[in-house]
Structure formats: C-alpha cells, structure tokens
Amino acid sequence: MDFMHDQLSDGRSIRLFNVVDDFNREKLGIEVDFSLPAERVAKRRITLIHVHGRFLSCYASPTKFRTLS
C-alpha cells in the first residue's frame, strides 16, 4: 500500500492510494481523488481483503503506517 500525490495543470492536487502485490507485481486496487479521508481508505482496504483475501503483511514508511494484517 502506498499513497502518492500529484498536481494538475490548473494547480489542484490529487491524491492516489495504491495497493500492489509485490510478489507478482499485480495491481490490486487504486483510489484517486482530490481528498482521501481515512474512512474511505479503510473501506477500500476492507473491500480489497474481501476480494483478494487477507494481506500477509503491509509495510509503509514510519510517517504513514505499519501493520500486520
């Protein structure tokens, strides 16, 4: 799981929430919007768990989150 951000040509910022299986490089999901509140990210993660099964591990930088599911 990773969060990214970019800026459109008109100056507005967009946020991206990506979930990638590092073993086979399969993209499991992506959310893109101008704002990604924690509740929406949590709902998306639950949806992905229902579709693909539990994540064995999830690591991110210390400033974001680090969990074992």
Phi-psi category of 53—alpha, beta or left, where left has phi over 0 and alpha has psi -120 to 50?
A: left
Cβ proximity of 19 and 1 under 8 Å: yes
> What pLDDT is attached to residue 27?
84
Its pTM stands at 0.65
Helices (H), 1-69: 38-52
- 7 pLDDT exceeds 90? yes
Q: What is the pLDDT of residues 30-65, one digit of tens each?
A: 889 898 888 888 888 888 888 877 765 555 555 454
Q: At 41, phi and psi to the nearest 5?
A: -65, -45
